[in-house]
Amino acid sequence: MLTPNQIAIVKSTIPLLASAGSQITDHFYSRMFSHNPELKNIFNMSHQHSGRQSVALFNAVAAYAQHIDNLPVLQAAVERIAQKHTSFDIRPEQYAIVGHHLIHTLKELAPDAFTPEVEDAWTAAYQQLADIFIQREGEIYQQNAHSTGGWEGARRFRLQASKQESELVKSFIFTPVDQQPVVGYQPGQYLGIRVQPSRSDYQEMRQYSLSDQANGSSYRISVKREQGDIDGLVSNFLHDELNIGDEVELFAPAGDFFFTDRQQPVVLISAGVGITPMMATLETLAQEGYPQPVSFLHACEHAGQHSFDRRLHELSECLSLSAHVWYNQGADTDAIAAGRLHQGLMALHTLREELPLLKGDFYLCGPVGFMRFIKQQLVELGVGTERIHYEVFGPHADL
């Protein structure tokens, strides 16, 4: 338990953190990977190169320092991060490594300000935060391990089938090598996967949204082929090198973004590969015969990048489903005239009379810029922010 004096000291360092900015996290990651290169088997190095992970970590440290005397404010963030950590198989001993490098980073960047008293306060503060995560992650691990079909840690799976869904997106179906059942999941959650690409010196871990309803025997993920040697390292390995019968390691489904049945109209809004958790939700609603109206709004570049188009038409027979698609280019004029295909950017005001603006739940997934654009439109149309739910691929970002 932190003392009042330690809390005051940590809060007093907020200006120091703000002035250092991402310098802290850049130095931290450089230091940690230099001393503990084995952690490169866990961290997504593409996020290191893009800077997204550094920004996310800095924001998390700053938020913790700001609210250290009112931790319930951080409950949602803790849950989101804890869920992500279990899909990386993060363990208590790794918190000790991170804490060691964080404290030494602060000492090295601000030797005059980081007195022994400040060091003691931050050491206690970090341990308090680590204990919160360790406890919650332990609960998630235990829940997974004791659920029907559940497990803890890595489990071997075999690629049973694959299917090209569009120019950039390919689906992969995995079944367990031990031929035992697999644990269920909430539509919208993701799956952790560990592979060894031929072009990487390290094992690589990623999370991909599950794109089908839970069935107790297999998992399906649908992966976009990313461009570049860094961003596309794992996706290109899956698209080009993983063959039927090959084995991978999977971690139990996780994630705090998922469909919650409130028996209200539902609006699923996506762009690009953000369609994947929406398909899992739509498949689940169809299988359950969801009685409320469902709207499915999707945006992509053109018809060649429109994943699951045929399946969407099939599901429309099982639900009270209204579907609209926006192509940024190349939309067919006859389809536009029919009213369900649109050209350009997604414009929700054109559907003002059709959308359940007063009582519907809105689920968003896609690039951060797209989701900010859509959230702004929804708020302007009168949708309360408590009814807008979203998923960010990679390190979290606020809309």
pLDDT digits over 223-250, tens only?
A: 999 986 667 899 999 999 999 999 999 9
Is 298 annotated as ligand-binding?
Answer: no
The pair of structure tokens assigned to 339 is 């009213």
Which of the residue ranges 131-140, 200-209, 321-330 has the most confident prediction, judged by mean pLDDT?
131-140
Backbone angles phi, psi at 361, to 5 degrees: -100, 130
User: What does the alpha-carbon distance between residue 252 and residue 191 come to, in Å, rounded to a whole number?
Assistant: 6
Q: Check whether 134 has a pLDDT greater than 60.
A: yes
- What's residue 22's pLDDT? 75
**Domain boundary assignment for the chain:** 4-146, 154-254, 266-391
Whether 253 has a binding-site annotation, put simply, is: no
Catalytic site positions: 95, 137
368 annotated ligand binder:
no
Can you give the pLDDT at residue 259? 95
Residue carrying structure tokens 């359950």? 288
pLDDT at residue 56, as a whole number: 74
CB 45 within 8 A of CB 100: no
Please give the pLDDT value at position 46: 58
CA dihedral 293, 298, 303, 309 (to 10 degrees): -40
* Entry pTM: 0.91
Question: For residue 346, which of 361, 331, 359, 357 has the smallest C-alpha distance?
Answer: 331
**Residue 334: its pLDDT value, please?**
64
Quote the strand ranges of 126-263, DSSP E: 155-164, 169-176, 190-195, 204-209, 219-224, 247-254
pLDDT at residue 268, as a whole number: 98
Mean pLDDT value of segment 82-103: 93
Residue for token pair 């990313």: 226
Would you say 248 is a known binding-site residue?
no
Question: What integer is the mean pLDDT of 365-370?
Answer: 94
Predicted confidence at residue 45, as pLDDT, reads 60
pLDDT band at 19 (very low <50, low <70, confident <90, very high): confident
Nearest CA among 15, 3, 50 for reference residue 395: 50
Is 273 annotated among the ligand-binding residues?
yes
* pLDDT at residue 335, as a whole number: 66
Query: Average pLDDT, stretch 119-142?
Result: 94
pLDDT tens across 267-283, in order?
A: 999 999 999 999 999 99
Residues 73, 77, 83: CA angle, nearest 5 degrees: 140
The fold adopted by the segment(s) 266-391 is Rossmann fold (3.40.50)
Looking up tokens 């951060």, which residue turns up? 368
Q: Does the annotation place 363 within a ligand binding site?
A: no
Query: Is residue 276 annotated as involved in ligand binding?
Result: yes
Averaged pLDDT, 96-119: 90
Q: Does the structural domain 4-146 have CATH classification 3.30.230.10? A: no
d(CA 75, CA 136): 11
The per-residue pLDDT for range 244-268, each reduced to its tens digit, is 999 999 999 999 999 999 999 999 9
The candidate with the shortest Cα–Cα distance to 104, out of 12, 29, 37, 48, is: 29
Residue 293 marked in a binding site: no
Confidence band (pLDDT; 50, 70, 90) for 399? low
Closest CA to 341 of 299, 378, 307, 381: 299
Which tokens go with 163?
Answer: 């299917």
**Residue 352's pLDDT band (boundaries 50, 70, 90)?**
very high
Q: Which regions of 167-209 does DSSP assign to beta strands (E)?
A: 169-176, 190-195, 204-209
User: What span, in angstroms and rounded, lies between the C-alpha atoms of 64 and 73?
Assistant: 10
- What's residue 200's pLDDT? 83
Cβ proximity of 193 and 205 under 8 Å: yes
Who wins on pLDDT, 261 or 25? 261
Task: Return the number of other C-beta atoms located less than 10 Å from residue 302's C-beta.
Answer: 13
Average pLDDT of the chain, as a whole number: 90
Question: Average pLDDT in the 346-366 region?
Answer: 96
Q: Give, in words, the CATH class of 154-254.
A: mainly beta
